[in-house]
A and B are shown apart, each in its own frame.
Chain A
Amino acid sequence: KAGVTQTPRYLIKTRGQQVTLSCSPISGHRSVSWYQQTPGQGLQFLFEYFSETQRNKGNFPGRFSGRQFSNSRSEMNVSTLELGDSALYLCASSGTAHTGELFFGEGSRLTVL
């Protein structure tokens, strides 16, 4: 069974640009969550989607957005990039979202110059 796949793995952007990250969950999983990981703030919850509906959103500015498609694949977008957006963005899928058992991808490493 294939795991969670995130693309791209690495990317470099400049301030003011926008970026889209993609996540393909484990087959059959309908819940997808996104987390931002930085050395200073640790792992912070961005949002969670289930069957194309955002059920929860973390404390991030409106520049951070996401969506989920009918095949459960998800994308997140960050507009008007700032230096502080440099981070590892982790996607996780779950077959039973109410228990919190998450399966993580390897992440997308974003560097903003």
Chain B
Amino acid sequence: AQSVTQPDIHITVSEGASLELRCNYSYGATPYLFWYVQSPGQGLQLLLKYFSGDTLVQGIKGFEAEFKRSQSSFNLRKPSVHWSDAAEYFCAVGPQEGDYKLSFGAGTTVTVRA
């Protein structure tokens, strides 16, 4: 069964500092991987996705993620954080053949301090 682990529940980072959010997945084949962001009171917005090919993928808002098959990881990074990046971030994997669903991690809440 597919699953996602986000080891960090909460991260605090200073504005202008770099950010890295960890994601580990369990999946039986080549995964489709996603990072979504959720601002308070809002739905989820897709930041970036990995389907195949180049293991470093670029997303919106200056985010990037690197797929590492050997480590079953898909970590999200941003070189310089802005106050508006404060939100909850979800890593997701899927779908497997025929099940048409994403499996989400528990999420990482990012707080940005001035």
List residues of B whose CB falls within 8 A of some A CB.
32, 34, 36, 41-46, 49, 51, 90, 92, 94-95, 98-107
Q: Smallest CB-CB separation from B42: which chain A residue? A: A106
Report the Cα distance A1→B90, complex, angstroms: 25
Contact with B along A91-113 (1 / 0, CB 8 A): 01000011111111111000000
Contact with B along A44-57 (1 / 0, CB 8 A): 01001010000110
| A4 contacts B43, C-beta separation under 8 Å | yes
| B92 contacts A103, C-beta separation under 8 Å | no
| A45 contacts B102, C-beta separation under 8 Å | yes
Report the Cα distance A108→B95, complex, angstroms: 24
Closest CB in chain B relative to A23 CB, distance in Å: 11
A68 at the interface (CB under 8 A from B): no
| A33 contacts B43, C-beta separation under 8 Å | no
Closest CB in chain B relative to A52 CB, distance in Å: 14
Q: Smallest CB-CB separation from A109: which chain B residue? A: B41
Report the Cα distance A42→B104, complex, angstroms: 8
Sort A-B residue pairs by CB-CB distance and give the 4 closest, nearest first: A104-B43, A43-B104, A104-B44, A45-B101
- Size of the A side of the interface (Cβ < 8 Å), in residues, is 26
Closest CB in chain A relative to B109 CB, distance in Å: 11
Report the Cα distance A67→B51, complex, angstroms: 30
Closest CB in chain A relative to B27 CB, distance in Å: 12
A90 at the interface (CB under 8 A from B): yes
Q: A35-B104, A42-B104, A106-B43 are in contact. List 15 more A-B contacts (CB 8 A).
A: A4-B43, A33-B101, A42-B106, A43-B107, A48-B101, A56-B99, A56-B101, A58-B101, A100-B32, A100-B94, A102-B46, A102-B102, A104-B44, A105-B43, A107-B42
Closest CB in chain A relative to B17 CB, distance in Å: 27
Closest CB in chain A relative to B36 CB, distance in Å: 8
Closest CB in chain A relative to B29 CB, distance in Å: 13
| B100 contacts A50, C-beta separation under 8 Å | yes
A31 at the interface (CB under 8 A from B): yes
Report the Cα distance A42→B90, complex, angstroms: 10
- Give the chain A neighbours of B46 by CB distance below 8 A: 101-103
| B34 contacts A101, C-beta separation under 8 Å | yes
